[in-house]
Amino acid sequence: MSNLATVESFVEGAPPGELADVIADIKSLTVSDPGLVSKLAPAFEKYNEEQFATVKLPGGSQPVIISSHSALGGGRYYDVESSSSFDFDHTTQKASGVQSHALEGAQADLVKSTLKSLSTYVKEHYPNAAYGAYPIENDSKVAVIIVSNKYSPNNFWNGRWRSLYIFDPASGSLEGSIKVDVHYYEDGNVRLLTNKAVSASVSSGSGAGIAKEIGAGERKYQEELNRGFTSLSEGAFKGLRRQLPVTRQKIEWDKVASYRVGQDIGGGSSRR
Amino acid sequence: MASADPFDSALDLLRRLNPKHTTTHLQSLISLAPDLTEDLLSSVDQPLTIRRCKQTGRDYLLCDYNRDGDSYRSPWSNEFDPPLDGGVGGDGGAGDGAGAAGVPSDKVRRMEIKANEAFDVYRELYYEGGVSSVYFWNLDDGFAGVVLLKKEAKPGSASEGSWDSIHVFEAIDRARVTQYNLTSTVILSLSASGSGLGDLDLSGNMTRQIEQELPAENDEQQIANIGKLVEDMELKMRNLLQEVYFGKAKDVVGDLRSVGTLSDAGRDRQAQKDIIGSMWAK
């Protein structure tokens, strides 16, 4: 693998809210080749669009989303709610050059009504999320994005929940995925990564119907995820190492040689 | 601003990138900064590899501490596989000094044999399966060693997992006691999948250190001391892993998205405040 491909893979693997730390590490590791970091712009763009990076527009109060679905090309993106387009610097993650951007076309009304219903849902379930809806594929479908971040670097953890849905008005199908990424790194490195495909149909085809299906699916998934934690804890984790031996007592190390005999009689050592 | 030490940056990066792929990241870092190869290989813990001892038919674990070039020493037979050139290994010429080619002296090897037997019992009692290996080596003022344990959950079932314990210690002779310095790392990978759950991966590693002085009159006491230290450390780390993997991670997901509505949660908090307020008013 070339050095550029190597550092690009590091960028791609940056945990939520830690891209700047990863870049600092890459810079320190490549001081002998300072040109390398300047070649990372495409990797930053890919990372920001895939992770649904959020940015506050100058003078704006709500964060807006960076994604391939909200890209206008040439480093510009747009947001429907604030009716604006802007330049986004993928390296500094700063927005500039805000202009008004009115949404037109066949899906404009559906996008706006979806945003309205989504706003109520997001406020009720996400303490800190950005959301967006955008017409895609020549104005034939609508992409809906929700991204929720919580960063607590002082306590060595960061997290991100991101959902992407594509609604097809022709068939009424809503397809998407929910991804959760949690990083905990105090005296260690622990990572939760999930990916859940979602598939539903919205018979009404309305913005309210889309938001309702999204809400129901996300609730179901989060409940399933919580059960997943419990079953891993009670199942695989317990099966790997017991908290205490069957005797519920710690080992008497001065007598450990005599355990050997009992163990062999019990035949336990043959088990895998 | 002076730039950071590249070694520290490499460790910082490994603390951030997906811990499930530490071995891959380590290879990438080594190709990026070959100067760091030795330091990184000796300080970054990776999941352990299992090999079968040709002499005894028993499984043992591979790590940097039983490696000589491309050969690894079995704790059960004391033989290197593949055999080392020049016939070093086994009982070959180590004497009472520091072992040639990473082979402990006869005295320390005798302790190593006993420690392997003791931790084999420990493994069966706590892991009910898996593989254990203990390697000792001589120090000028004592000895050092590593206790390795590995267990893999059945692959193919709805949930999978693996546990690797790596306990590196020094036992240094002091006037009346032995000073033990223990650094323990547990690498724990868990995953689950299903139609409702999709794919879930929960992987990582945690490291803890402890220093303790204990009397050790003979080899049996040495092994008992090391056994107790490792046993206590693993209990502590198991509890910690449980807290982080199933408590903290779940809490963070709950911080990202609330299952119940936030207005209900707000009303509950207000109701609680009102109750507490009315209790104070009485």
B108 close to B217: Cβ distance less than 8 angstroms:
no
Contact A22, A14 (CB under 8 A): yes
**Using a CB-CB distance cutoff of 8 angstroms, which residues of chain A are in contact with residue B151?**
240-241
Burial class (CB in 10 A: 0-12, 13-18, 19+), A172: middle
B2 close to A (CB below 8 A) = no
Nearest to A196 among B163, B198, B223 (CB): B198
Query: CB B258 to CB A1 under 8 A?
Result: no
pLDDT (average), residues B176-184: 96
**B 82-111 residues with CB below 8 A of A?**
none
Residue A272, pLDDT score:
41
> A78 near A33, Cβ under 8 Å?
no
CA distance A199 to A215: 13
DSSP letter string over A165-222?
A: EEEETTTTEEEEEEEEEEEE-SSEEEEEEEEEEEEEE-SS-SHHHHHHHHHHHHHHHH
pLDDT per position as a tens digit, B102-145: 789 999 999 999 999 999 999 999 999 999 999 999 999 999 99
**SS3 category, A33:** coil
- Rounded to two decimals, the ipTM of the complex is 0.92
Percent of chain B whose predicted confidence (pLDDT) is above 90? 76
d(CA A252, CA A264): 17
CB B119 within 8 A of CB B149: yes
Statement: residue A207 has pLDDT above 50: yes
pLDDT, tens only, B16-62: 999 999 999 999 999 999 999 999 988 899 999 999 999 999 999 99
For residue A86, the surrounding DSSP H or E stretch is strand A84-89
Cα A79 to Cα A91, A111, A210, distances in angstroms: 20, 11, 19
Nearest to B241 by CA among A186, A11, A257, A201: A186
Angle at the Cα of B226 (from B222 to B228), degrees rounded to 5?
A: 115
Q: What is the pLDDT of residue B77?
A: 96
Q: What is the pLDDT confidence band of residue A190, given thresholds at 50, 70 and 90?
A: very high
Res A167 pLDDT > 90:
yes
At residue B37, φ and ψ (nearest 5 deg) are -50, -55
3 state DSSP class of B55 = coil
pLDDT class for B266, splitting at 50, 70, 90?
A: confident
AA identity, residue B231: E
SS (H, E, C) B228-257: HHHHHHHHHHHHHHHHHHHHHHHHHHHHHC
Segment B146-158, tens digit of pLDDT: 999 999 987 666 6
Q: For residue A180, how many other CB atoms are within 10 A of its CB?
A: 26
Long-range Cβ pairs for the range B270-273 (8 Å, 24+): none
Please check whether residue A28 touches B, CB under 8 A.
yes
- Please identify among residues 107-146 of chain A the ones whose CB lies closer than 8 Å to any CB of chain B: 123-127, 129
Q: Give the residue from B45, B121, B209, B234 with the most A CB atoms within 10 Å of its CB, the best one to mutate.
A: B121
Supply the pTM of this predicted model.
0.91
What are the Cα distances from residue B255, in Å, to A144, A149, A183, A234? 22, 9, 13, 23
